[in-house]
């Protein structure tokens, strides 16, 4: 049965000469009209489309034909949907115009409301990035990348830690808050926390840079790097545009996370190439079998994170790591020599042992250690033993 819902519809009579009448009506429309559940494939095109040759951003509403852009994004969303990607990209400025005879009208709720938290984050990120790149166009960022501190070997650090401890290498997350858990730590000093993690034996650090949902920042990333903390740094972001890769590197990141639920294969390939060019390690995050299979079909992927948190529903289940490493997938991962990182919801030595048994060589942990008064001790408690580097070797 067709599901009916109400929509505000604004008619704009501007296609009638010398008329400027606008009216809004409310009437039921078919949900098939409003279910726009597709998303983009070619955000790499966007990355370059939205910057003029002089480097100025042209994402501003005044310079784009929003109706045309809406159609492009819709068809990009459709391509992405064929890869099983449910997260749609933000519509340009509002719903598209429809035409009936001389009338133009908009269906106000036509796909312009995010359907879940991940989609909301991505839509906000699109706006944030467009604004930031207006201030710092790519050509100026490239100079900053040249002057950034040299990238450090993220994967090398994970391997060395695994060899040293015989346990999954720890990527310890510096994050103040999260959408699912709210504020995790009121007295949040990113540099102090980073130092405590290093002292506890973390191989690498993950720094949340999203401000709106995680209360993070690129200043935190920069401050940790400038404080001389030796662990390689992962910029934990929602990457929607290649511009962010340059920005992360300019701020001192050694690695970035790419989320398969957001980015189509072509974007992941293209962004991975850029990362290689500028010295960033890529951690591709997957949540389910389809995403894992997509990523295993892409050449050059060295690091895959399996997220135990469903980023659309917040549900956490650490058996997700095991499920995605079973059978042929696990075999393929071993053949390709890919390092797998177990992510989210790890709190106890039994959890660490469980994901290690499943085949991970590294874990990414935030909540359980950032909440501890002393995060150094928190790491020992998580592993059930002291994994810190002996002072003579540190
Ligand atoms: O953590 C969230 O609420 C969240 C919501 C939407 C998108 C991403 C989200 N988390 C990012 C992460 O992947 C975690 O910060 C990371 O894996 C560490 O998880 P945890 O050890 O459970 O803090």
Mind listing the pLDDT tens digit for each residue in 124-172? 999 999 999 999 999 999 999 999 999 999 999 999 999 999 999 999 9
Rounded to whole angstroms, how far apart are CA atoms 49 and 65? Answer: 13
User: How many folded domains does the chain comprise?
Assistant: 2
For residues 103 and 129, membership in a common domain is answered with no
Question: Which of the given ranges, 32-36, 68-72, 216-220, has the highest pLDDT on average?
Answer: 216-220
Write down which residue in 79, 113, 147 finishes a domain: 113
CA–centroid distance, residue 177 to ligand 1 (Å): 9
Q: CA geometry: angle at 195 spanning 222 and 251, to 5°?
A: 10
Tokens describing residue 97: 């115009």
Helix (H), strand (E) at residue 186: none
CA–centroid distance, residue 309 to ligand 1 (Å): 7
Rounded to whole angstroms, how far apart are CA atoms 262 and 148? Answer: 28
Per-residue pLDDT of 356-384, as tens digits, reads 999 999 999 999 999 999 999 999 999 99
Using only C-alpha atoms, what is the Rg of the chain?
Answer: 23
Residue 22 binned pLDDT confidence (cut-offs 50, 70, 90): very low
CA–centroid distance, residue 367 to ligand 1 (Å): 8
Mean pLDDT value across residues 47-71: 48
- pLDDT at residue 110, as a whole number: 59
CA–centroid distance, residue 238 to ligand 1 (Å): 11
Ligand 1 lined by 311 (C-beta under 6 Å): yes
pLDDT at 309 over 70: yes
DSSP character for 374? S
pLDDT at 40 over 90: no
Per the CB < 8 A criterion, the answer to whether 227 and 191 are in contact is yes
pLDDT at 178 over 90: yes
CA–centroid distance, residue 210 to ligand 1 (Å): 12
Rounded to whole angstroms, how far apart are CA atoms 173 and 372? Answer: 13
- The residue contributing the CA closest to ligand 1 atom 19 is 344
Per-residue pLDDT of 241-287, as tens digits, reads 999 999 999 999 999 999 999 999 999 999 999 999 999 999 999 99
For residues 262 and 163, membership in a common domain is answered with yes
158, burial (CB in 10 Å: exposed 0-12, middle 13-18, buried 19+): buried
Ligand 1 lined by 96 (C-beta under 6 Å): no
**Atom from ligand 1 closest to the CA of residue 175:** 15
Write down which residue in 113, 139, 163 finishes a domain: 113
- The residue contributing the CA closest to ligand 1 atom 16 is 344
For residues 36 and 145, membership in a common domain is answered with no
For residues 92 and 231, membership in a common domain is answered with no
Mutation to probe ligand 1, out of 171, 177, 178 (largest number of atoms < 8 A from CB): 178
290, burial (CB in 10 Å: exposed 0-12, middle 13-18, buried 19+): middle
CA–centroid distance, residue 327 to ligand 1 (Å): 27
Mutation to probe ligand 1, out of 237, 366, 375, 382 (largest number of atoms < 8 A from CB): 366
Per the CB < 8 A criterion, the answer to whether 250 and 234 are in contact is no
- Higher pLDDT, residue 339 or 311: 339
- pLDDT at residue 99, as a whole number: 80
**Atom from ligand 1 closest to the CA of residue 309:** 13
Handedness of CA 315, 317, 321, 326 (dihedral sign): negative
Handedness of CA 72, 73, 75, 76 (dihedral sign): positive
Mean pLDDT value across residues 105-115: 70
Rounded to whole angstroms, how far apart are CA atoms 245 and 237? Answer: 10
- pLDDT at residue 69, as a whole number: 67
- pLDDT at residue 87, as a whole number: 83
**Atom from ligand 1 closest to the CA of residue 343:** 17
Ligand 1 lined by 117 (C-beta under 6 Å): yes
Angle between helix axes 243-250 and 218-226 (nearest 10 degrees) is 30
| Lowest mean pLDDT across 83-87, 111-115, 177-181 | 111-115
For residues 94 and 136, membership in a common domain is answered with no
Strands (E), 237-336: 255-259, 281-286, 303-307
Which CATH number characterizes residue 305's domain? 3.20.20.70
Tokens describing residue 48: 């370059």
Residue 392, domain member (yes or no): no
Q: Which residue segment(s) compose the domain that 25 sits in?
A: 9-113
pLDDT at 45 over 50: no
- pLDDT at residue 106, as a whole number: 65
Mean pLDDT value across residues 209-215: 98
Q: What mean pLDDT, rounded, does the chain reach?
A: 84
Write down which residue in 56, 88, 113 finishes a domain: 113
For residues 135 and 85, membership in a common domain is answered with no
Ligand 1 lined by 307 (C-beta under 6 Å): yes
pLDDT at 4 over 50: no
- Higher pLDDT, residue 28 or 88: 88
CA–centroid distance, residue 213 to ligand 1 (Å): 11
If you search the block for the tokens 């008064």, which residue do you land on?
Answer: 373
- Higher pLDDT, residue 56 or 206: 206
Residue 25, domain member (yes or no): yes
Among 197, 157, 191, smallest CA distance to 173 is for: 197
Residue 119, domain member (yes or no): no
CA–centroid distance, residue 316 to ligand 1 (Å): 10
Strands (E), 16-158: 22-30, 97-100, 103-107
If you search the block for the tokens 């850029």, which residue do you land on?
Answer: 274
């Amino acid at each position: 049965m067709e599901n009916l819902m109400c929509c505000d519809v604004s008619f704009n009579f501007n296609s009638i000469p010398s008329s400027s009448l606008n009216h809004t009506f409310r009437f039921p429309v078919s949900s098939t009209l409003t279910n726009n559940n597709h998303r983009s494939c070619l955000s790499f095109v966007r990355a370059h489309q939205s910057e003029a040759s002089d480097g100025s951003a042209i994402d501003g509403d005044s310079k784009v034909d929003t109706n045309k852009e809406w159609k492009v994004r819709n068809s990009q969303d459709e391509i992405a949907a064929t890869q099983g990607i449910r997260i749609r990209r933000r519509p340009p400025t509002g719903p598209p115009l429809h035409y009936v005879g001389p009338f133009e009208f908009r269906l106000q709720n036509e796909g312009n409301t995010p359907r879940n938290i991940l989609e909301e984050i991505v839509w906000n990120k699109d706006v944030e990035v467009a604004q930031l790149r207006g201030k710092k166009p790519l050509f100026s960022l490239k100079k900053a990348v040249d002057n950034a501190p040299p990238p450090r070997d993220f994967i090398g650090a994970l391997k060395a830690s695994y060899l040293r401890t015989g346990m999954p290498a720890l990527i310890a997350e510096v994050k103040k808050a999260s959408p699912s858990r709210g504020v995790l730590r009121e007295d949040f000093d990113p540099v102090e926390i980073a130092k405590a993690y290093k002292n506890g034996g973390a191989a690498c650090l993950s720094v949340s840079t999203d401000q709106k949902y995680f209360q993070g920042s690129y200043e935190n990333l920069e401050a940790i790097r400038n404080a001389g903390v030796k662990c390689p740094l992962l910029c934990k972001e929602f990457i929607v545009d290649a511009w962010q890769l340059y920005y992360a590197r300019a701020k001192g990141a050694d690695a970035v996370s790419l989320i398969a639920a957001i980015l189509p294969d072509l974007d992941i390939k293209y962004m991975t190439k850029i990362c290689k060019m500028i010295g960033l390690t890529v951690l591709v995050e997957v949540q389910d079998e389809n995403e894992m299979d997509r990523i295993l079909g892409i050449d050059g992927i060295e690091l895959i994170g399996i997220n135990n948190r469903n980023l659309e529903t917040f549900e956490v289940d650490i058996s997700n790591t095991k499920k995605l490493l079973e059978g042929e997938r696990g075999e393929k991962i071993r053949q390709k020599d890919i390092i797998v990182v177990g992510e989210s919801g790890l709190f106890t030595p039994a959890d660490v042992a469980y994901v290690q048994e499943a085949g991970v060589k590294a874990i990414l942990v935030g909540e359980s250690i950032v909440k501890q008064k002393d995060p150094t001790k928190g790491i020992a408690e998580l592993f059930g033993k002291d994994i810190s580097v002996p002072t003579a070797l540190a």
